[in-house]
A and B are shown apart, each in its own frame.
Chain A
Amino acid sequence: EDKVVQSPLSLVVHEGDTVTLNCSYEVTNFRSLLWYKQEKKAPTFLFMLTSSGIEKKSGRLSSILDKKELFSILNITATQTGDSAVYLCAALFGAGSYQLTFGKGTKLSVIP
């Protein structure tokens, strides 16, 4: 069965800390991995990763994909309270009929 597993499921850190969120996947015909941030409403897109070893960066957030080991990480440096959210990763897979399967999410809480 195709699946996406995120760890940890929840995390509490202090402002200024650096965090690493993990996402492993086991799907057939993998196409890309996507990261979303969800703050009590619709998920908002962060990154799409299709190639191994190429880091994508947006401000304090960065992400990288390892297609050999089948995982991705999302790094957040110098965390702020506004980073508190659920971070979702999803794997796009398939051949002709593409599916997007989500992990259960990592709930990040950043305390002052």
Chain B
Amino acid sequence: NAGVTQTPKFQVLKTGQSMTLQCAQDMNHEYMSWYRQDPGMGLRLIHYSVGAGITDQGEVPNGYNVSRSTTEDFPLRLLSAAPSQTSVYFCASREWGQRILNTEAFFGQGTRLTVV
């Protein structure tokens, strides 16, 4: 079982460059989300989606874009990278609707991004 797959695992960007972090899940989960994790800050929600064509902002959305064209994929785009976006990014998926109350979130292995 692949679960949640993130690519790339590591990335170094120059300030002002753009890139897309990929996330794919094979569990047919309707809910997908992106978190960033910084030292001492826990996991903070960037954007989430409750199904194809539906996205919404989380706690720290500025500087990031998302789209959801299929159930499986939820890419995160950095439009113009800044050093403040240096972080570890995790994609997560889970059930939606009433099923969410009885199931946990599954996480990808993370992308370590450094912006210089």
The chain A residues found within 8 Å of chain B, CB to CB, are 4, 9, 31-32, 34, 41-45, 48, 50, 88, 90, 92, 97-105
The reply to whether A102 and B43 contact each other, CB–CB distance below 8 Å, is yes
Query: Closest approach, in angstroms, between the C-beta of B29 and any C-beta of chain A?
Result: 13
Using C-beta atoms within 8 Å of the partner chain, give the interface range for chain B. Answer: 20 to 34
Most buried by B among A42, A92, A99, A101: A42
Given contacts A31-B101, A43-B107, contact A100 B42 (CB under 8 A): no
Chain B residues within 8 Å of A88, by CB = 42-43
Within the assembled complex, what's the spacing in Å between the Cα atoms of A79 and B102?
Answer: 29
Chain B residues within 8 Å of A98, by CB = 100
Classify the secondary structure of A's interface with B: strand
The reply to whether B42 and A48 contact each other, CB–CB distance below 8 Å, is no
Top-4 shortest CB links A-B = A42-B107, A104-B42, A102-B43, A45-B104
The reply to whether B45 and A105 contact each other, CB–CB distance below 8 Å, is no
Within the assembled complex, what's the spacing in Å between the Cα atoms of A19 and B30?
Answer: 37
Within the assembled complex, what's the spacing in Å between the Cα atoms of A48 and B106?
Answer: 13
Within the assembled complex, what's the spacing in Å between the Cα atoms of A100 and B110?
Answer: 18
